[in-house]
Amino acid sequence: MGAPEQPKQQEPGTEEMKRNPTLDNIQQLGQVNTPSGESNLFCLTIIGQVEGHMVLPPQNKTTKYEHIIPQLVAAEQNPKIEGVLIILNTVGGDVEAGLAIAEMISTLSKPTVTLVLGGGHSIGVPIAVSANHSIIAETATMTIHPIRLNGLVIGVPQTFEYLDKMQERVVRFVTRHSQVSEEKFKELMFTTGELTRDIGTTVIGSDAVKHGLINQVGGVGEAIKELNRRIEERKQQMNGGYVQ
């Protein structure tokens, strides 16, 4: 008579992840809770590379814009969410996807604050300046450089004209949503000798504030404090209308 068959052991944590939506949100979206959660603040993280129309290799840490856009819409519609905190540590990525995210953040009716931790490079710059108030960590950096194309490029005047128009879209957005002048931003963009094998400039913490790109140097505490201050201001303005 053979030994009784041992019950199959389940892989630890598998059933828990299936039952626990919080763990699933962390795995899929990098979020502790979605805009339907209990907090009055929604924290949105933009990390790694901003993924656009092309799917990046699985080993790349990416932020998918098709995940970000519905979360911003949900945060705007949810009456329990009173403010949005956007935390960036990104190397950049797809230009149009990055601009789409930046435009959505800039058009939210609720108070928004961006916090650059680590890096807010390339197309991360428009996202960083898109909020009502922007903060950068003392050790964080931002790389400003001209638009670059990957893959096959057709060497005709129309290609370079398209590239120039796309670059102007980025310049207009950044200068409209920050204190940096167009002349200064383009100067930083076309500086030679700063970056290896490329043109552009890397600015660190206080330099980003000095140039007018970012509002202040700080961290998470300052970001949440500023966001709460703006939420209270908004409440007073709304209540003031009813009192009068």
What are the tens digits of pLDDT across the range 1-45? 555 555 555 555 555 445 666 667 666 666 655 555 578 999 999
What are the tens digits of pLDDT across the range 121-162? 999 999 999 999 999 999 999 999 888 766 566 766 777 787
Residue 55 has pLDDT above 80, yes or no: yes
Block residue for tokens 């008579």: 1
Query: Which of the residues are catalytic?
Result: 122, 145
Q: Give the per-residue pLDDT at 60.
A: 84
Q: What domains are there in the chain, each with its CATH number?
A: 40-49+60-237 (3.90.226.10)
Q: Give the per-residue pLDDT at 117.
A: 95
Beta bridge partners of 135: 115, 216
- Cβ atoms within 10 A of the Cβ of 34, count? 16
Residues 224 and 145: their CA atoms lie apart, in Å, by 30
C-alpha distance across the termini of the chain, in Å: 89
Residue-averaged pLDDT of the chain: 84
Q: Give the per-residue pLDDT at 23.
A: 65
| CA nearest neighbour of 67 among 84, 85, 82, 52 | 52
Q: What is the mean pLDDT of residues 67-82?
A: 93
Q: Give the per-residue pLDDT at 148.
A: 76
Q: Which two tokens stand for residue 51?
A: 């993924």
Virtual CA dihedral for 63, 66, 69, 75, nearest 10 degrees? Answer: -80
Q: Give the per-residue pLDDT at 150.
A: 66
